[in-house]
Amino acid sequence: MSNVTMKVNGKPVSGDVEGRTLLVDFLRGPLGLTGTHVGCDTSQCGACVVHVNGEAVKACAMFALEAEGAEVRTIEGMAEADGSLGTIQAAFQEHHGLQCGFCTPGMVMSAAALLKDNPKPSEAEIREYLEGNICRCTGYHNIVKAILAASGQDVPAIAAE
């Protein structure tokens, strides 16, 4: 066991972990941050994406000890200080960018990382950026729409509205 210290969603945290403890297990277990999901265990599906020092990483493909001293942000840290939804979160809700919701935290975190570097991505750029986030429900259409909307760009109206 080794002690690890990091900041998660702005709060300093520490805990004893084994060398093999994955960051995702540290977040979900001792920290109780179960919004970060494990979808595949093989670092493909992206349900576990969090930010480490501002960059999107798969928390199932990183050891907790590797995040020593890092600033970690999870889906639980994405809302505004007053508890209202952040822009991306609100856009996913409003544009139906989710169904079963299991991929949603990872999608939101990936979208945030994209918009940080590329505030007005094209549809093609969004598609390419989300290559490592699998959604089995939506067919991705509304997810792309939500990210376009969150970046302040026009979104084609939903046909039935």
Partner 1 sequence: MSVAKPLTHDAARLHVTGAARYVDDIPTPTGTLNLAFGTSSVAHGEVTGCDLAEVRAAPGVVAVLTADDLPFANDVSPSIHDEPLLAKSVVHYVGQPIFCVVADTHLAARKAARLAKIDYAEHPALLTIDEALAADSRFEDGPRIYEKGDAEAALAAAPRLVEGSIEIGGQEHFYLEGQAALALPQEGGDMLVHSSTQHPTEIQHKVAEALGVPMHAVRVETRRMGGGFGGKESQGNALAVACAVAARATGRPCKMRYDRDDDMEITGKRHDFRIAYRAGVDEDGRIIGIVFEHFCRCGWSQDLSLPVADRAMLHADNAYHLPSAKIISHRLRTNTQSATAFRGFGGPQGMLGIERVMDHIAHDLGCDPLQVRRLNFYRAPEERPGGIAPPGPPAGYLETGKIEKGADLASRGVTEAVAQTPAPVVPSGAQTTPYHMPVEDFILHDMVATLEESADYAARRERVRAWNAENPILKKGIALTPVKFGISFTLTHLNQAGALVHVYQDGSIHMNHGGTEMGQGLFQKVAQVAAASFGVDLDAVKITATDTGKVPNTSATAASSGSDLNGMAVKAACDTIRNRMAAHLADLHQTEPRKVHFEGGKVFVGDEEYTFAEATAQAYAGRVSLSATGFYKTPKVQWDRIAGRGRPFFYFAYGAAVTEVVIDRLTGENRILRTDILHDCGASLNPALDIGQIEGGYVQGAGWLTTEELVWNAKGRLTTHAPSTYKIPACSDRPRIFNVTLWDGANREETIYRSKAVGEPPFMLGISALMALSDAVAACGDGSVYPALDAPATAERVLWAVRRQEAGA
Partner 2 sequence: MYAFELERPKTLDAAKAALAGDEAQALGGGQTLIPTLKARLASPAKLVSLAAVEGMSGVKAEGDQLVIGGATTHAIVAAEAALTYPGLADLASHIGDPAVRNRGTIGGSLANNDPSACYPAAVLASGATIVTDRRQIAADAFFDGMFTTVLDEGEIITEVRFPVPQAGAYAKFVQPASRFALTGVFVARFSEGVRVAVTGASEEGVFRWTEAETALSGNFAPEAVDGLSVSPDGMIGDLHGTPAYRANLVKVMTKRAVAAAS
Q: Decide: residue 132, CB within 10 A, 0-12 exposed, 13-18 middle, 19+ buried.
A: middle
* 140 touching partner 2, by CB under 8 A: no
Measured at the CA of 149, the angle between CA 147 and CA 154, to 5 degrees, comes to: 125
Which listed option, partner 1, partner 2, none, makes contact with residue 63 (CB within 5 to 8 Å by class)?
partner 2
- Contact pick of 10, 54, 101, 152 for partner 1 (by CB under 8 A): 101
Minimum Å gap between C-beta 44 and partner 2 is: 7
State how far Cα 73 lies from the chain centre.
9
* 62 touching partner 2, by CB under 8 A: yes
User: Amino acid identity of 41?
Assistant: D
Residue labelled with tokens 């979808």: 39
Q: Please state the φ and ψ torsions of residue 64, each to the nearest 5 degrees.
A: -55, -40
Confirm if 37 and 106 have CB atoms less than 8 A apart: yes
Applying CB under 8 A, the site for partner 1 has a residue count of 57
Which positions touch partner 1 (CB under 8 A)?
28, 32-42, 44-45, 47, 74-76, 78-79, 85, 89-90, 92-94, 96, 98-105, 108, 126-128, 130-131, 133-144, 158-161
Which positions touch partner 2 (CB under 8 A)?
2, 18-20, 22, 41-44, 46, 49, 55-58, 60-63, 65-66, 68, 110, 113-114, 129, 131-133
